[in-house]
Every structure is written in structure tokens, then in C-alpha cells.
Amino acid sequence: MDRYHEEDVREVSPAETSYPKCVEINTASHLKKTAEVSLIKVTRFTNTISLVNPLSFMTKYPCPSARKSSKKSD
């Protein structure tokens, strides 16, 4: 077998983002401070590559164009 996939789940917490509209991190006590992401290791003959599923940040206010498109589908 020349390659295989191995999945591992890690718990991460957001620290910062480069997007100015998403800089606020909600620290309310009832919220979970971490998220679980899948870390997928791809092993080949010559090297091993680790890939991480992306985290997402939410903006404080909804995007107006997204609101318009959701109204069209109703």
C-alpha cells in the first residue's frame, strides 16, 4: 500500500484572525471555549502530510447579501 489516511481529533481554541470583522471572541461562561477539528495524516513512501479541517469565525452582523439570498429561497 503506497499511502493511507489516519484521522485524529484535536481540540483547539481560537486565538486570533486576520479578518477585521471577526476579531471579537465571545468569552461568555456558557459557551464552549474550544472546538474539535479532524487532523488527517496522509502517509506516503517519502513523506507525511497533516491536513486540518478549517475553523470558522462568525461576524457580529450578518452579511446583507446573504440575507437577500436566503429570502429568495423562502
Instruction: Report, as an integer, the average pLDDT of 48-66.
Output: 70
DSSP 9: E
Q: Which pLDDT belongs to residue 52?
A: 66
Q: What is the CA angle 58-59-64, rounded to 5?
A: 120
Give tens-digit pLDDT for 22-56.
767 777 776 677 777 777 766 666 666 666 666 66
Quick one: how far is CA 9 from the chain centroid? 13
